[in-house]
Amino acid sequence: MLITNTLGQVLVQHVDYRDRCLWAGGAVDKGESPARAAAREAAEELRVGATIARCLAVDWVSVDGIGAPAAMCSR
């Protein structure tokens, strides 16, 4: 998620499993809307409640893609 404040500053998070900062985000669960997934991920990763005001874009990777866990694949 690209989260900004009224000054246009971008929120990034430091995670211990990477050597660089990341935007918050994650996978959309089956039957979940992108807005609901974004709110859930904000709560899980950032421990903040969020209301998603608008969605500009969704970047996605097919669950049938190479390396996707079997539980996520539709086959």
pLDDT digits (tens, 9 = 90+) for 30-66: 888 888 888 898 899 888 887 777 776 666 666 666 6
User: What's the pLDDT at 54?
Assistant: 73
* Residue predicted with more confidence, 9 or 51: 9
Could you identify the residue written with the tokens 């990763």?
Answer: 45
Residue 13 confidence (pLDDT) above 70: yes
Alpha carbon 40 to its chain centroid, in Å, reads: 9
pTM as predicted: 0.64
User: What's the pLDDT at 60?
Assistant: 66
User: What's the pLDDT at 7?
Assistant: 96
